[in-house]
Structure 1
């Protein structure tokens, strides 16, 4: 059997937003493919290949049918009692329903009955004609365009001569100028979109195409024709790989271990800006290397989309790589132009750096009183005062030395001062980084300078943590100030909105407590931060505590722990987050014991009994009131097991603590089999509840084992 022809659909547009191009290309291809598949126009082996360049979105789909197969459809009409009268004749309601389906009374004998009694219904069997490709593509294309993840829609007027009845303008990401729909080598007639009618012509590179327009001969020749006649690499992935290879080759030609800076986001953006990439090597004056390399790298990447070159040690060199969209025989003019363009940018960075160093960070502290942080929380100056107070409280909880506390206070006081420098005013991304350079320029200790830079860390998932204890304390204080302040004024994240990055701040606090193994209780940490705000915030530590544990739970599940394991451990709200992973491992080991299911179920039962108990349950058991043999056995087992389990818990050996509990299975089972807890004698009942209370306490030191039931 001959395979069905392949399909090519292309939308030719003006330059698309580069940061959205790859998503737009993938969504367009998947949308068209899914739309055709839903109508039965694709085959089991059909595959979609997306194309996306600055001026086109396209998809190539293999094995697309000219017409979908007919399919049998069984449609439920109505209950038999409604559709047929007592004589078995069709009722008006049934005839009306059949008429709506294009059938008449002749279809009544062929109706199918399914069900029994009152549930018996009438069904109509029909054969639906398969969709024709031109009609199916029209629907699929319209749906795909409607669902594109367009960052911002443009409204533009249709070109003269292609205006449709009732249309005066079009809404799309960019003005569209051409539509291609080829099935094999044939143009699909009647397909249109955005006021354009499908044909077989497209356009290549603005300046280097050998033919314009390009007449596409077949769906399968699309990419090759664009490459040879249009000087365009249509595939985003191929173009990206080509740029990557050229960057590496150009760096190798420079020698001395040179390598282009690694930046996937920049590579994606540049890939979306060019159709025929050509990497060229440029250079700037070495005197600019006196400026911190972060400044030079940022201005080259953010403003010019250049790839700075680093040497083998990771230090910036005076050379950089440009990805040009043209490939002239003599590239000197392109190279010279880019070198002229970057020079003023670097000169600005050098000027800002030189000017900023004329004033110390300490002299800039008063300027923070003029910078508004939040209308309910005051200025950056007030914020700094709170961070200093919170940092002092954390330092006291950690028992830091006087010298370290002094450095913590100095770093907290100066951490935000680079916000009022010219360099950070021009490049906000350098906050913290420039503070470190200016601190070293002022002769401040290395630990203070590092803390000024590091107090923003971790900035994102997987980012490094602050380097030293001074940086950790200031970073903790800064994040707690944000969290307590925002929760205190009711400014909580909702859904996808989190303008103050509170989720990231909470995860940063968790990571520092856990990975730095800080001996800090979470409740004490939060409570110690509240007094710094005075009357500005209401007590919101309960909601903030829930928020932090929720973030912790999500991270632990991502690390491979089950929801049940995480729930069991976090139900106890352990104060030392550094212990949580060890508790989880202990719970996992306990769950493998043969006694675990029965003990978990018994623990749940004990918890329910204690919840329903009237009044306060005593934790002291009177041995003289133990009437049943099973009571004596459980009490004696607890007396033997509890001290050993408690000793293991005190030493942090949570696995051993839970392992000890296995010895309680038999006496616990016997207790519930032979003892009535709610005895008629109040003294017996109270004593048995006290025994269960001791059992419950012993079993739930590491985790709430009832959550494993």
Structure 2
């Protein structure tokens, strides 16, 4: 069984595209091979800045011969029908066979497809892959029609078995496949031949190319940490930067540099962001001072002076960048000390949305809403309002103009410089959070109040102008805002009616309440959030169908307890009993035109099972009610789970729809007690299974 090696060698592929390109190459090639009838044992994709590679092991040498029988039209069908059938099969009339069928004789075609050698299939699949590769952006070059992310220089494609390696013949826009590749652009630029994947990887390493992106990342991380450790420093972790830098170099050579003393007074976030965004440097922290004092740059070449010249050039560029940052910082500090009035006035000239006003309008709404939310989360209302009024001011600062990702972070520094309390300054920093499912959730009361106000103003505003997410489109990140509200409420155990808060937010936009529809949107986000924590959607639906579903803390507590109960045998069987009781009642009520909800009397009980169920319900009802009022949901689940055995026994021993109408009514009213016991907890009819 041969092994396949493919390499597509080009100019530099953007780092951000490489991981997806590896997966696309693997998927397109292996799917194409399998669709053509080949099988394989394993496949692995690799990338460097100048190449995509794929290794497929244990490939079958040829596709099997296949036979397919296809039923055609009746023998007496119109000639046009027969001609269409012949075209679809590729056969002639004399190759068809007439067979008896239920509706008379029909034509049958036997289509034989002979197997094909792997090389022929690989060539077809690879050409189609190259021509249709799903790059986010691609280009044409020269006079050819081929599009690729950057000019494609060569195609390596070989099959290797026990008899040796052979090139798979292929030509794409003048590029002819071969067994040759190249090493590092500067340190080993000459071409060389390879025979299989092991030979390919080994020769690339000797030619100063690390083929595996994960190996390059691990090497960068290890060497950077070693360099930092030698100085008593620590590398600030940054996995996204690590992945990007690993995609920029084929032979990573980390070098350690030192930040000049004149820049050490800059906030660490400024140093880290400037070095990351402008120069792809890793930040080095001195634990003794708590400051970022150094950096690691990653060269793509070994030099005779061990990188001294490279490092010197990087130091000069860094000094220029940080000089700009220092200038921005000093200007911003002067404005902060002056009260930031110019920034506040400037927000009036910044449009938030043409239907929702300026950033100044938005700040006024958030401030009013934060004051109202503050008592609900235990925050000082004056501080919450003040933090909201300051929260967006850093958008007018020079530093945030240069580094938008520092909004909020810089606002905290400016608020402290203006003499604001720490709680206010922290809320300015934290009001954007959480930005995503893995981002930390603020816990300080003032921060929670402002963060909720910010997100709820966004949601109610876009609901007011009917700009809601549709399908996969969510240009204003409203799903993220809704998830932020959910996480803030659940993390802070905020016991409040979201419907009421939405009404307050809607008033700020001078519209009628958008609460019901917006609450349903939040419920959809909540389902996604809880499903990730192992709570089934039907269980969430069963709880959301109850009153009080705008108190998310209560909803989650009930859903969690119900989920735990339904994982037990008692819970599963009890659910079936509750649903059976509900179904029998629904049918009887529809048939009789009445609601059976009162009057079940134990004196009409004929069997021990009936009497036992009366006793069990007499004990369970008050226990469930008391537990639900105390919000002790596990206790409520324990109380209702005790009904499992008497309900099972009742249905085994008793015929509900008795011919005796007195007994029938009494038993139906008894079932209504079962239904009501369940309704105190959830709508069990929504639970599947």
Say whether the fold is shared (TM-score over 0.5).
Answer: yes
Q: CA deviation at 1:20?
A: 0.6
Mean alpha-carbon deviation: is it higher for 593-602 or for 454-463? 593-602
**Structure 2 residue aligned with 1:35, among 29, 32, 35?**
32
Mean alpha-carbon deviation: is it higher for 482-491 or for 633-642? 633-642
C-alpha contact 1:557 1:563 (8 A) present in aligned 2: yes
Q: CA deviation at 1:289?
A: 1.4
Counterparts in 2 of 1:472 and 1:646: CA distance versus 1, 3 Å: same
Residue 13 of structure 1 pairs with residue 10 of structure 2: yes
SS in 2 for 1:222: helix
Aligned to 1:221: 199
Residue 389 of structure 1 pairs with residue 368 of structure 2: yes
**Structure 2 residue aligned with 1:602, among 581, 592, 599?**
581
1:444-468 per-position Cα deviation (integer Å, ceiling 9, x unaligned): 1111111111111111112111131
C-alpha contact 1:154 1:172 (8 A) present in aligned 2: yes
Residue 269 of structure 1 pairs with residue 244 of structure 2: yes
**Structure 2 residue aligned with 1:62, among 33, 57, 66?**
57
Counterparts in 2 of 1:672 and 1:427: CA distance versus 1, 3 Å: farther
C-alpha contact 1:392 1:409 (8 A) present in aligned 2: yes
Aligned to 2:301: 326
**Structure 2 residue aligned with 1:248, among 220, 225, 233?**
225
Aligned to 2:458: 482
Residue 700 of structure 1 pairs with residue 679 of structure 2: yes
Q: CA deviation at 1:411?
A: 0.6
**Structure 1 residue aligned with 2:544, among 570, 584, 597?**
570
Counterparts in 2 of 1:609 and 1:375: CA distance versus 1, 3 Å: farther
Aligned to 1:73: 67
C-alpha contact 1:415 1:432 (8 A) present in aligned 2: yes
Q: CA deviation at 1:565?
A: 2.1
Q: CA deviation at 1:315?
A: 3.2
Counterparts in 2 of 1:432 and 1:626: CA distance versus 1, 3 Å: farther
1:260-299 per-position Cα deviation (integer Å, ceiling 9, x unaligned): 2211111111111111111111112122111110011001
**Structure 2 residue aligned with 1:178, among 149, 154, 163?**
154
Give the distance between the partners of 2:351 and 2:234, measured in 1 at CA. Answer: 42
1:571-622 per-position Cα deviation (integer Å, ceiling 9, x unaligned): 226232112333124323543314442123213544676689869x697x46
Map 1:303-382 onto structure 2 (within 5 A). 303-312=278-287, 315-330=290-305, 331-360=307-336, 361-363=339-341, 364-382=343-361
SS in 2 for 1:154: coil
Give the distance between the partners of 1:519 and 1:512, measured in 2 at CA. Answer: 11
**Structure 1 residue aligned with 2:411, among 425, 435, 443?**
435
C-alpha contact 2:370 2:384 (8 A) present in aligned 1: yes
Q: CA deviation at 1:418?
A: 0.8
Counterparts in 2 of 1:670 and 1:72: CA distance versus 1, 3 Å: closer
Q: CA deviation at 1:219?
A: 5.0
Q: CA deviation at 1:199?
A: 2.0
C-alpha contact 2:502 2:513 (8 A) present in aligned 1: no
Mean alpha-carbon deviation: is it higher for 575-584 or for 466-475? 575-584
Give the distance between the partners of 2:26 and 2:648, measured in 1 at CA. Answer: 63
C-alpha contact 2:499 2:550 (8 A) present in aligned 1: yes
Q: CA deviation at 1:340?
A: 0.4
Residue 531 of structure 1 pairs with residue 507 of structure 2: yes
Aligned to 2:214: 237
C-alpha contact 2:157 2:177 (8 A) present in aligned 1: yes
Q: CA deviation at 1:527?
A: 2.1
Counterparts in 2 of 1:60 and 1:596: CA distance versus 1, 3 Å: closer
C-alpha contact 2:602 2:611 (8 A) present in aligned 1: no
RMSD, matched Cα: 3.5
C-alpha contact 2:546 2:682 (8 A) present in aligned 1: yes
Give the distance between the partners of 2:104 and 2:622, measured in 1 at CA. Answer: 66
**Structure 2 residue aligned with 1:192, among 171, 174, 177?**
171
C-alpha contact 2:36 2:63 (8 A) present in aligned 1: no
**Structure 2 residue aligned with 1:673, among 655, 661, 669?**
655
Give the distance between the partners of 1:314 and 1:73, measured in 2 at CA. Answer: 76
C-alpha contact 1:432 1:454 (8 A) present in aligned 2: yes
Give the distance between the partners of 2:80 and 2:382, measured in 1 at CA. Answer: 92
**Structure 1 residue aligned with 2:47, among 31, 47, 52?**
52
Aligned to 2:181: 202
Counterparts in 2 of 1:21 and 1:103: CA distance versus 1, 3 Å: closer
Listed as ranges, the gaps of 5+ residues in structure 1 are 159-167
Listed as ranges, the gaps of 5+ residues in structure 2 are none
Mean alpha-carbon deviation: is it higher for 585-594 or for 665-674? 665-674
Give the distance between the partners of 1:300 and 1:589, measured in 2 at CA. Answer: 49
Give the distance between the partners of 2:86 and 2:356, measured in 1 at CA. Answer: 69
Aligned to 1:502: 478
SS in 1 for 2:209: coil
Residue 143 of structure 1 pairs with residue 128 of structure 2: yes
Aligned to 1:552: 526
Q: CA deviation at 1:62?
A: 2.2
C-alpha contact 1:176 1:194 (8 A) present in aligned 2: no
Counterparts in 2 of 1:273 and 1:98: CA distance versus 1, 3 Å: same
Q: CA deviation at 1:323?
A: 0.5
**Structure 1 residue aligned with 2:389, among 408, 413, 420?**
413
C-alpha contact 2:376 2:496 (8 A) present in aligned 1: yes
Instruction: Give the TM-score of the pair, scaled to structure 1.
Output: 0.85
1:527-571 per-position Cα deviation (integer Å, ceiling 9, x unaligned): 232211114xx5422221111011111111111122332222222
Q: CA deviation at 1:407?
A: 0.7
Mean alpha-carbon deviation: is it higher for 479-488 or for 51-60? 51-60
Give the distance between the partners of 1:249 and 1:678, measured in 2 at CA. Answer: 88
Map 1:127-138 onto structure 2 (within 5 A). 127-138=112-123
C-alpha contact 2:138 2:149 (8 A) present in aligned 1: yes
C-alpha contact 1:239 1:277 (8 A) present in aligned 2: yes
Counterparts in 2 of 1:512 and 1:216: CA distance versus 1, 3 Å: same
1:355-377 per-position Cα deviation (integer Å, ceiling 9, x unaligned): 11112355232221111100000
Aligned residues: 670
Q: CA deviation at 1:702?
A: 1.9
C-alpha contact 2:184 2:250 (8 A) present in aligned 1: yes
Aligned to 1:457: 433
Map 1:44-123 onto structure 2 (within 5 A). 45=41, 47-65=42-60, 67-78=61-72, 82-83=74-75, 101=89, 107=95, 111=97, 117-118=102-103, 123=108
